[in-house]
Amino acid sequence: MIRSMTGYGKGVFEDTGRKFSVEMKAVNNKYSEFNLRLPRLFNPLEDRVRKALSKEIARGRVDIYINFENLGEASSRIKYNKTLADAYHQALVALASDRTLYPDHDTLFTLVSRFPDVIEIDREFGEDEVESLWQGLEAAVNMALDSFVTMRKREGEALKEDMLARLEIIANLTDDVQAKSPEVLENHRAKLKKRMEEVLAGVAVDETRFLNEVAHFADKSDINEEITRMRSHLAQFADILKEDGAVGRKLDFVTQEMAREANTMGSKANFAELSKVVIELKSEIEKIREQVQNIE
């Protein structure tokens, strides 16, 4: 089943006074890119999170937000960052001196204490607790991934139905191109004969030369090979849609080949009616190409 590259998922797991929350959302991207936002205490587990994501996500830019609440109090304490507080204090004193201000001690204390990370809750986990921490986080990550992948599959199925419908339109337009292609030669034959008769002004037309010119044009304007390859690409595209996993790059490549065949048809279509059909054909291929950009 094909998947869309966009998606959203959320997972929440609570255990023994701890709450793990994972939220993830994705947009289109040529490659896989994971942007994690997680508490500092989860840094040792970041690689495990990335590996878990990589098993399910092949393409897309994914933002992952991890939140942790320690509902118990035993492993939490208030932490004072003296180095950072001293730095903020020195900056404020310098600012006051430059501006000829005279803040009192209480004012400086209040300002310094409000700066980020000067006073914070420090949650400490020993090495023996890391595995326990991972078990809770892994559960939340898997919950988020399940809902995320489900949404991607649902959107991917909608994209698939749309592309199958457009494949049928392209197949019908290809049939129209083939049906009208003989008219290109007949139109050229009539124009060439009329032109030669006008130039020769009553003199008999050299049939051999005339037929050679027609044959040369027929060879240059023949699009049977392009039509055959177009049908082959359509069949290949439909087969890829039946595959599982990340197929976006394959579909993108086949779409490029389809566009190349349509462009060649257009360059050979020296006939207004045929040109109109080729333009419609190229338009439908472009619509499919836009949809392919959303496929993982």
**pLDDT one-digit tens code per residue, 194-203:** 565 555 555 5
Collapsing DSSP states into helix, strand and coil, what is residue 63? strand
Note the pLDDT of residue 214: 47
**pLDDT one-digit tens code per residue, 228-246:** 999 999 999 999 999 988 8
What are the Cα distances from residue 250, in Å, to 23, 57, 146, 158, 293? 30, 16, 25, 19, 11
**pLDDT one-digit tens code per residue, 29-40:** 988 999 999 988
Q: Hey, which of 63-67, 106-110, 111-115 has the most confident mean pLDDT?
A: 63-67
Could you give the residue ranges of the DSSP H alpha helices within the chain? 46-54, 82-98, 105-114, 127-200, 207-221, 224-240, 248-268, 272-292
Residue type, 164: L
Tokens of 147: 């809902």
Helix pair angle (127-200, 224-240), 10° resolution: 160
Q: Give the Cα separation of 153 and 4 in Å (integer).
A: 6
The structure's pTM equals 0.69
Contact 33, 7 (CB under 8 A): no
